[in-house]
Amino acid sequence: MTDWTPYTARAKDWFESLRDRITAAFEDIEREAGSDAAFEYTPWSREEEGNDNPGGGVRGVMKGQVFEKVGVNVSTVHGHFAPGFAATIHGADDDNPGFTATGISLVAHMANPHVPAVHMNTRFLTTGKAWFGGGADLNPPIPYDEDTAEFHAAFRAACAAHNPTYYDRFRKWADDYFYIPHRGVHRGVGGVFYDHLECGDEGAWERNFAFTQDIGKAFLEVFPKIVRRRMATAFTPEDKRTQLEWRGRYAEFNLVYDRGTLFGLKTGGNIDAILMSLPPEAVWS
């Protein structure tokens, strides 16, 4: 049986380096707008009875002129799923509830309603199996076809470099996943989403890790371009109202349907880090 410990460490190092590159890029955008906003980092430690090494993470949040609220979190946790919940996790059950998870999670809510909000995360988990998951999706209150096309093109290229079937599969998965059934609407204009990309051996791990890295790189390449394109666009009170109503929909999805939110709450994660995805302000009609 493969010892995934050193591979988890490599994935953790990548997620932390990706965080540092992304946060630097976002702070650069704030400087261009004349703002001195910067990320504030808060380490946190997980607790689990009888576990000497439960892990933890670092929550990073910036509130600026362009990024009204953006969170970029990295965590690495080890432990056991609660009875009942284990059966809902790939490769785990009540007889084998142990897990390790490391990943990066990002959500950006923008000050200007013409700039799309965005979500991105990638992760590596081990239970009775080992796998990667992740993706990114664009969430514009006021959609622009140009932005949507560029965002999808970046991830189409990242997918094509690894498997010709990935983009179509993972775009559909994003469309199906980021959907609000009680509203009958999608959360945004999609992107890619994948999960349970299994690593049956070391070779598969390397391939899936390389793909996951390219997803992160694609996000870092495309999203700042979209932000710069829209961040100086004039907007009206009606535009802002549209944004705040849309944020309400975003909050509904993350609190009712998002599996990542549930995973964090069920595994003793940091509450502030888990709920950093929620917008700073929203309205409901």
Would residue 283 count as lying in a domain? no
The SS3 assignment for 229 reads helix
pLDDT by residue, tens only, the chain of 285 residues: 689 999 999 999 999 999 999 999 999 999 999 999 999 999 999 988 888 889 999 999 999 999 999 999 999 999 898 888 888 888 887 778 889 999 999 999 999 999 999 999 999 999 989 999 999 999 999 999 999 999 999 999 999 999 999 999 999 999 999 999 999 999 999 999 999 999 999 999 999 999 999 999 999 999 999 999 999 999 999 999 999 999 999 999 999 999 999 989 888 889 999 999 999 999 997
Note down the domain range covering 18: 5-277
**Cross-strand pairs, 164:** none
Residues with a catalytic annotation lie at: 119
Would residue 144 count as lying in a domain? yes
pLDDT, position 1: 63
Phi, psi (5° rounding) for residue 179?
-130, 140
Would residue 284 count as lying in a domain? no
Total count of domains within the chain: 1
Would residue 285 count as lying in a domain? no
Would residue 188 count as lying in a domain? yes
Would residue 242 count as lying in a domain? yes
pTM (two decimals): 0.95
| CATH code for position 187 | 3.40.1500.10
Would residue 80 count as lying in a domain? yes
